[in-house]
Structure 1
Amino acid sequence: MSVLRDEIRSILREEIAALKRGEQSEVLTFETVRISSSADLTRFSQDLVTRGQDSAFAARVAQGRHRFDLEQHRPVGALSVSAPAKPRPNVLTKTLVTERDIGALGAGTQVLSIGKTSRLTPLARDEARRRGIRIERSEV
């Protein structure tokens, strides 16, 4: 147990030093929105106003850390062949991923993409496993 604590302290020292150097982390979340009519747009804007009352959500949107993608619109009657949707991963650019970072991800998160040199704390790995979040390493 002492060896594990020493390793955690060492990792934390490195990461605190990185934070003091000004390295920033960013968790990006993506939400797909279907807007095919004025009524859809009105519903989305009303929902956004309601959700904006949560200051954390409003801050994430204002900082660009929560992004919206439009669902691809198909004309009525158009032939549609679809494959199973691949979940778009959230991206975390941070050298040390903690349990708190995993907890900050949205409830529907299925995939988290982290940097090739990023490390996960044991608690972060446990939290991701508990929530069913798959961790992928990016090439960057």
Structure 2
Amino acid sequence: MSSDLRSLIREVLAEELQAMRGGSGAHADTSPRPQVREEMVSIANDADLNRFVLRVLELARDGKSVQEIRNGRWKFRLQQAGTASATKATAPGPAVSASSASVEFDRGLVSERQVSALPEDSLVRAGKRVRFTPLAQDELRRKRIRVERKTS
């Protein structure tokens, strides 16, 4: 009986050690992934260019945003003619469209800092897993930003 118990314990330990090495379950890597933002920009005339420059100047007030741009975690992409104006985040963070003021959050916790970077009267599309901090909710109300929950 003692040898059966020992072999059972060895099997359980071997399974648990294998699970730890595989990075799943309770031992999974839960460190946050670097946030990458993509901002779609439509520049068709001088007014659009001026709007984009004002947006960059607004972002430059925040040192963290400047660092994100320099480190490649905040990217600007030219919007092709005839494409949808909403943008999508590739990680848990906002993706802002300078021309349409539409933002999508797929998952994660949205902070006041993220909301304060959005233009007034914009639209936020939030996935089911997205949560807003209380300060972020206050900022959404102050800037009259509408939140639309995605169904899937």
Give the structure-1-normalised TM-score.
0.48
Where relative contact order (Cα < 8 A, 6+ residues apart) is larger, the structure is 1
Choose 1 or 2 for highest CA Rg: 2
Give the structure-2-normalised TM-score.
0.45
